[in-house]
């Protein structure tokens, strides 16, 4: 099914990684299907070249929003085993910032206070991407425990679940059984009937979201979530925002900088997205990115005698995987508990493991079981991790929120099946293995019940303090050129490059990257522009 952007088509990170890497769900992206972020038309202005530029909001807080900015969180110990060191609270945000009296929604916050030694530097907010990834889940499972000790000593580590996500009034489109059927839908339709089945699946999904979320569905845009971040900054008592965002979290952070350049503290945007690209271009370039990642996996696999896709010629791996997908399209593999490994589920399992080379061993094992032993359980498990499906058949709201935000942020990549068919050659060229599925998945926003609120635009954030943009040269989910694109737009950006594989760079084993970011967070000194690690 669709893929998302995070840090994480609909896809986020690999399940197996070396410490201190984040868990799979923290790094997945928003998939090819629903990938594109944008902002509301009220927030953009046209420059001389005709491009739209995100316009800064007034420095003074509007009188109508003063009650929201006057909030102070009522912190309490978070509930749950292992959460005794964390505090939780809630904030009220206007449903519609342009009409603050039209209703409110609740935002969930969590923090782990600075441990010392050293003077406290303020709050460090984190977001793992998605859209749809729980920032609180990321904080409590990784960031507040795995970020460098000197950073955790000096900052209160804080997370806010974006509106529509996890504990912040989550959007839920389908129940467990319906989601099982949805994720198994054929995304490489071969007949008119299969094409109609895919369109119907997208329609059902959108209607389910609308029935669940109501008016909230039209107010989960990235611009609105960025404005929520400013409410949180104020409630925390910080004059400026210090923030680390991964994948889609870079778009959220860059949007904040564009709206509030005067309130930018130290911003790290890791695995960056380029807001000037439309949905079709984003999805096509992400398709190519995953092809690059698969090629790297295939070269590594082909050197091993037990490679399930064939040893020797790496190009054979792609042809063999495509042939395996074709067999699943005709006859899915049994996978226990009444489930089956379909072509679409197998493809998502492979894509999930390609987010990080640390997932390659698990992918080889899963493919060996499926290709050689006709056992689909291991590959299905990778897909389940990607979709955040638990053992009891329930789903987190990642995929629902992912579609809700993406489809509101940008117009759809394609409006009709005919448009997808016309684009198939280009997508297949970008990736012979994944291109067709990614192209068809990109049709999902065409059936969305709430129209997009904007389109591609530049983010310049003129006058902002130095911002560090991080790009990985062979990042599958957020191609390196996106980091270069964002860094070229932001007035005060410094580009930090990691020459390597995988999605995002901070905390993934590069002393050069980690030292540069830690120095920036602790001392305020960014690395030299175009530093390469």
Q: Which positions are annotated as active-site residues?
A: 247, 475, 503
Contacts of 223 (CB under 8 A, 6+ apart): 39, 40, 43, 255, 259, 453, 454
**Please, what is the Cα angle at 166 between 245 and 210, to 5 degrees?**
110
CA-to-CA dists, residue 139 to 88, 116, 387, 502, angstroms: 12, 18, 20, 21
Cα angle 20-24-26, degrees, rounded to a multiple of 5:
80
Say if residue 88 is exposed, middle or buried (CB neighbours under 10 Å; 0-12, 13-18, 19+): buried
Give the count of beta carbons closer than 10 Å to the beta carbon of residue 494: 19
- Cα separation, 10 vs 30, in Å, equals 4
Cβ 287 vs Cβ 435: under 8 Å: yes
Contact assessment for residue 1 and residue 33, using Cβ atoms and an 8 Å cutoff: yes
CB–CB of 400/173 below 8 Å? yes
**What's the count of helices (H) and strands (E) in the chain, helices before strands?**
18, 16
Q: Quick one: which of 235, 266, 220, 24 has its CA closest to 137?
A: 24
Tokens coding 228? 């929520």
CA dihedral 34, 469, 49, 226 (to 10 degrees): 60
Distance of CA 10 to the CA centre of its chain: 8
CB 247 within 8 A of CB 269: no
* Residues paired with 353 in a beta bridge: none
Whole-angstrom distance, CA of residue 29 vs CA of residue 248: 7
């Amino acid at each position: 099914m669709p893929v998302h952007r995070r840090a994480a088509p609909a896809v986020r990170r690999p399940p197996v990684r070396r410490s201190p890497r984040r868990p799979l769900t923290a790094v997945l992206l928003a998939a090819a299907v629903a990938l594109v972020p944008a902002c509301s038309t009220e927030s953009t202005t046209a420059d001389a070249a005709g491009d739209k530029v995100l316009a800064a909001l007034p420095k003074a807080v509007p009188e109508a929003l003063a009650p929201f900015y006057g909030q102070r969180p009522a912190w309490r110990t978070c509930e749950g085993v292992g959460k005794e060191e964390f505090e939780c609270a809630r904030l009220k945000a206007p449903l519609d910032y342009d009409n603050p009296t039209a209703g409110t929604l609740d935002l969930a916050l969590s923090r782990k206070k600075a441990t010392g030694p050293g003077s406290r530097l303020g709050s460090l907010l984190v977001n793992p991407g998605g859209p749809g990834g729980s920032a609180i889940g990321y904080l409590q499972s990784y960031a507040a425990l795995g970020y460098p000790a000197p950073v955790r000593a000096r900052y209160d580590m804080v997370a806010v679940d974006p509106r529509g996500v996890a504990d912040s009034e989550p959007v839920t489109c389908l129940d467990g059984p319906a989601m099982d059927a949805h994720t198994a839908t054929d995304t490489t339709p071969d007949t008119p009937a299969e094409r109609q089945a895919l369109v119907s699946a997208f329609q059902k999904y959108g209607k389910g979201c609308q029935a669940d979320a109501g008016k909230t569905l039209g107010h989960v845009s990235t611009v609105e979530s960025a404005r929520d971040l400013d409410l949180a900054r104020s409630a925390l008592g910080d004059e400026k925002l210090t923030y680390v965002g991964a994948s889609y979290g870079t778009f959220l952070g860059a949007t904040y900088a564009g709206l509030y350049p005067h309130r930018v503290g130290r911003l790290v945007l890791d695995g960056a997205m380029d807001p000037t690209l439309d949905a079709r271009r984003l999805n096509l370039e992400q398709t190519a990115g995953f092809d690059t990642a698969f090629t790297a996996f295939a070269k590594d696999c082909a050197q091993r005698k037990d490679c399930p896709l064939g040893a020797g010629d790496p190009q054979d791996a792609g042809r063999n995987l495509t042939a395996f997908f074709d067999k699943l399209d005709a006859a899915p593999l049994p996978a226990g508990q009444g489930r089956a490994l379909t072509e679409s589920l197998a493809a998502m399992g492979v894509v999930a493991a390609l987010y990080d080379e640390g997932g390659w061993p698990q992918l080889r094992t899963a493919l060996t079981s499926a290709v050689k032993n006709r056992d689909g359980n291991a590959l299905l498990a990778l897909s389940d991790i990607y979709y955040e499906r638990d053992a009891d058949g329930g789903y987190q709201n990642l995929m629902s929120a992912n579609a809700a935000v993406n489809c509101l942020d940008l117009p759809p990549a394609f409006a009709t099946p005919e448009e997808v068919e016309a684009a198939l050659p280009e997508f297949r060229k970008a990736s012979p293995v994944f291109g067709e599925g990614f192209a068809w998945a990109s049709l999902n926003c065409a059936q969305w019940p709430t129209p997009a609120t904007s389109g591609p635009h530049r983010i310049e954030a003129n006058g902002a303090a130095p911002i560090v943009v991080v790009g990985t040269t062979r990042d599958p989910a957020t191609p390196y050129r996106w980091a270069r694109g964002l860094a070229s737009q932001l007035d005060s950006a410094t580009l930090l490059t990691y020459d390597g594989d995988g999605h995002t760079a901070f905390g993934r084993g590069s002393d050069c990257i980690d030292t540069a970011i830690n120095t920036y967070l602790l001392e305020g000194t960014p690395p030299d522009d175009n530093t390469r690690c």
